[in-house]
Amino acid sequence: MLRLTWVQPEDLLGHELRQARQDGREPSAIAARWRAAGGAGAPARAGASAEPASRYLRQLAEDLLDELADLPSRLADDEPTDLAAIRARCPAWPSPAPAAVTRYALEAAWLGRAVGCLLGKPVEKLPLDAIRQLAAATGNWPLTSYFTAKGVPAELLAAHPWNRRSAPTSLAENIDGMPEDDDLNYPLLNLLLLQRHGRRFTTADVARLWLDELPAGRTFTAERVAYRNLLQGLEPPRTARHRNPFREWIGALIRADVHGWTNPGDPGAAAEQAHRDAVLTHTANGVYAAMFVAAVIAQAAATPDIHACLRTGLTVIPPASRLTAAITQAIQLARRHDDFDTVVDELHATHAAHHWVHAIPNTALIAAALTHADGDFTGSLARAVGGGWDTDSNGATTGGIAALLTGAPERLPDHWTAPLKNRLATSVADFNGVGFDTLAHLTHREAARP
């Protein structure tokens, strides 16, 4: 039986009920109707429940998704998605101070993104306790190298198995180049986007590129729903809103790096570029997460001070938003506690109601990791991946930022980069097998394009 993940109405409804509670709507009456009809909650970790719902429940789920979308939100004024409204709420929007970024810095950033993603892949979806135990069992806690199964007790592996799709290519003993991952596919797509349309691309250009170059099976959560909506004839930005309970999850954030890399010293332009990309699939805090990261990266290309970069990132997102509050709290925790495990425990307690792929807790963890490690590459990676939640995505974004700060690939520890063998696997366009040095050259050309 084929159970396509992230699109079944009976599974989407549970996620939408949780999203409604978080974004200021009151869904209790609709939730009661769903439960009374025999409807179940959303799958806890997977993208689809094991068994399909009845025809009646599926139709009811579709109707209730539409009813939920019509509920008013008490947070709407503080968390707009329109760019003009966002800018109106950001009194300290950054002024451009264009800077040059070197090809070597961009190669470091590409490598750092791949290393962080690869480090997080085998423990994706695992609970925080399992990550700590698996690493500690091989003397790798705090993390200083890739995860390995060698030396891990069989009973621990039985209780907490590695991510089944990733273990064959991402455990230390199995790594042979960088395997395919959506956290690398999207930067490749955005590189193509800039090559074809330049920095004045539209959201419709992003949509057309996806339909041309991105296999539907390589999309997940909000991206898969938006892709489905495109095939049903919906236009952006409605593609982000229609029956899409994942619109504040992490997907737009993982697409933001190229927008930062190609606007060095101009975080405002990077954020605007990330916004045009993000609104295909996301709204509100899902969009803000992408804008924040793009601005941080654009500033990092010009200022090797991670704390200044994070402060700049906060200037492009609404100050009354939930994301701003989460990032601010995370940075404060990182400054207050010497032990990062304490920081992580507090973040997990604060954001326990969020799904593990939601943008708010994951962006907060990224900011805390970079702050606590003072931007150090290995230290930042160890904290971001060791902090749980969306481990490969957090590792990728954190690794890309921390590596960019180093300025050159030779400044990254060899035990992280050598296993990648300067080779990236992907199903995007003609990039399969491309080297990170080549990607840096292509990205540098876009960054220097007038």
For residue range 247-301, what is the model confidence (pLDDT) as tens digits? 999 999 999 999 999 999 999 999 999 999 999 999 999 999 999 999 999 999 9
Q: How many whole angstroms separate alpha carbon 77 and alpha carbon 83? A: 13
Q: Are 450 and 200 in contact (CB under 8 A)?
A: no
- Which residue reads 């921390």 in tokens? 402
DSSP string of 353-417, one letter each residue: TS-TTBHHHHHHHHHHHHHHTTT-HHHHHHHHHHT-SSHHHHHHHHHHHHHHHH-SGGGS-HHHH
Nearest by Cα to 137 from 169, 163, 159: 159
Superfamily for the 83-117+179-448 domain:
ADP-ribosylation/Crystallin J1 (1.10.4080.10)
Residue at 99: amino acid letter: A
Q: How many whole angstroms separate alpha carbon 376 and alpha carbon 383? A: 11
Q: How is residue 263 annotated by DSSP?
A: S
Euclidean distance between the first and the last CA atom of the chain, given in angstroms as a whole number: 52
C-alpha dist (Å) from residue 53 to 42, 281, 301: 12, 26, 50
For residue range 172-218, what is the model confidence (pLDDT) as tens digits? 999 999 999 999 999 999 999 999 999 999 999 999 999 999 999 99
Residue at 169: amino acid letter: T
Q: Where are the domains of the chain?
A: 9-69, 83-117+179-448
What pLDDT is stored for residue 1 in this prediction? 54
293: enclosing H helix or E strand = helix 284-300
Q: How is residue 24 annotated by DSSP?
A: T
Q: Name the token pair of 56.
A: 């009646």
Q: Name the token pair of 14.
A: 């549970």
The reported pTM is 0.98
What pLDDT is stored for residue 46 in this prediction? 79
Spell out the alpha helix ranges (H) of 23-77. Answer: 28-36, 55-69
What pLDDT is stored for residue 51 in this prediction? 86
At 434 the three-state DSSP class reads strand
What pLDDT is stored for residue 25 in this prediction? 98
What pLDDT is stored for residue 450 in this prediction? 84
Q: Name the token pair of 379.
A: 């230290």
Residues of the chain with pLDDT under 50: none
Beta strands in 324-382 (DSSP E): none
How many CB atoms neighbour CB 88 within 10 A? 12
Biggest alpha carbon distance in the chain? 61
φ, ψ (nearest 5 deg) of residue 417? -90, -30
Listed in sequence order, the residues at least 6 apart from 84 whose beta carbon sits closer than 8 Å to its beta carbon are: none
Q: How many whole angstroms separate alpha carbon 43 and alpha carbon 388? A: 19
Q: Are 294 and 273 in contact (CB under 8 A)?
A: yes
What is the signed CA dihedral for 163, 164, 168, 173, rounded to 10 degrees? Answer: 40
Q: Are 383 and 373 in contact (CB under 8 A)?
A: yes
Q: Are 13 and 39 in contact (CB under 8 A)?
A: yes
What pLDDT is stored for residue 45 in this prediction? 78
What sign does the dihedral 396-442-186-240 (CA atoms) show?
Answer: positive
Q: Name the token pair of 406.
A: 């180093």
What pLDDT is stored for residue 284 in this prediction? 98
SS (H, E, C) 307-326: HHHHHHHHCCCCCCCHHHHH
φ, ψ (nearest 5 deg) of residue 332? -65, -40
Q: Are 110 and 439 in contact (CB under 8 A)?
A: yes
Nearest by Cα to 52 from 248, 44, 427, 43: 43
Residue at 235: amino acid letter: E
